[in-house]
A and B are shown apart, each in its own frame.
Chain A
C-alpha cells in the first residue's frame, strides 16, 4: 500500500495570509490526525477526523481548522498566519477502529511564515 502523502511539502507565507495543507491517508484508513511539530516541543495534537467528523480537538486557536472528505483525504487550514505558526505539520492516518491504533505519519509540510 502507498504510504501517507502530504502536499505541498514546503510552503512560505507571510503574516496575515492563510494556508491550506492536504493529507491523503493510507488506502482503507478512515482516521486522519494532524500534529504541529516545533523544535523542543515535540508533536502537538491539532485535531482528528474520522468518517468526515471531527472526533477530537487539541488546544489550538480557532484559526486552525480542518475537514475530511468522503474519500478520507483531509485538509487543514490556518488563517491569519502568525510567525509562531512556522512549523512542520504532520498528518497521521490509522484504521480508526478500536482503541490501539498505530499512527502512520506522512512526510509533513514545512510551513515558514515570514
Chain B
C-alpha cells in the first residue's frame, strides 16, 4: 500500500520567517494530496490541497508544490505568525481507494514571536 513520510517532525522558526514541510509518497497512483493543520486540542482542518495534474497551488501565505516524478510534495508557509503554530499533516490518496487517506506522521511547527 501507500506509504507517506513527512519531515521534519519538529520545526521552529522565528516570526516572519518561512517554513517548509516535505512529504514523500510511494504509490505513483496517488493523485490527491491534502494538508491538514491541527491546533492543540482541536480537530484537523484542511488548509490546502493539490491534485496530481497541478504542480503548484497558492492560497495567500500558504503554497503547496508537487513533483510527481520524484513523488514528493511540500508545504510552504511564508511570513509565519504565532497563530501558525500547530501540527501539520500531509496526506495522499489513490483514486480507486475511496476516501482512504494515508497520512504522514506530522510536523510540529513552533513560530517564536
* CB atoms of A43 and B89 under 8 A apart: yes
B32 to A, closest residue via Cβ: A100
CA distance A94 to B95 in the complex (A): 15
CA distance A79 to B100 in the complex (A): 23
B99 is an interface residue with CB less than 8 A from chain A: yes
Are B31 and A42 within 8 A (Cβ)? no
CB within 8 Å of B: which of A73-114?
Answer: 90, 94, 96, 99-108
Taking a contact as CB atoms closer than 8 A, the residue among B34, B95, B103, B106 that contacts A102 in the complex is B34
Assess whether B101 is in contact with A45, with CB atoms less than 8 Å apart. yes
Distance to closest chain A CB from B54 (angstroms): 11
In the bound complex, what is the Cα–Cα distance between A31 and B97 (angstroms)? 13
Within the complex, the shortest CB–CB distance from A10 to chain B, in Å, comes to: 12
A100 neighbours in B (Cβ, 8 Å): 32, 49, 51
Digitize B86-109: 1 where CB-to-A-CB distance is under 8 Å, 0 elsewhere.
Answer: 000101010101111111111000
Once A48-B100, A90-B44, A101-B99 are accepted as A-B contacts, the answer to whether A42 and B49 lie under 8 Å apart by CB is: no
B61 within 8 A of A: no
B31 pairs with A99, CB closer than 8 A:
yes
Contact A96:B99 (CB < 8 A) given known A103-B46, A106-B43: yes
Q: A40-B105, A43-B89, A100-B32 are in contact. Are A94 and B49 (CB under 8 A)?
A: no
B interface vs A, CB < 8 Å?
Answer: 1, 6, 9, 31-32, 34, 36, 42-46, 49, 51, 89, 91, 93, 95, 97-106
Could you tell me which A residues sit within 8 Å of B by CB distance?
4, 31, 33, 35, 40-45, 48, 50, 55-56, 58-59, 90, 94, 96, 99-108
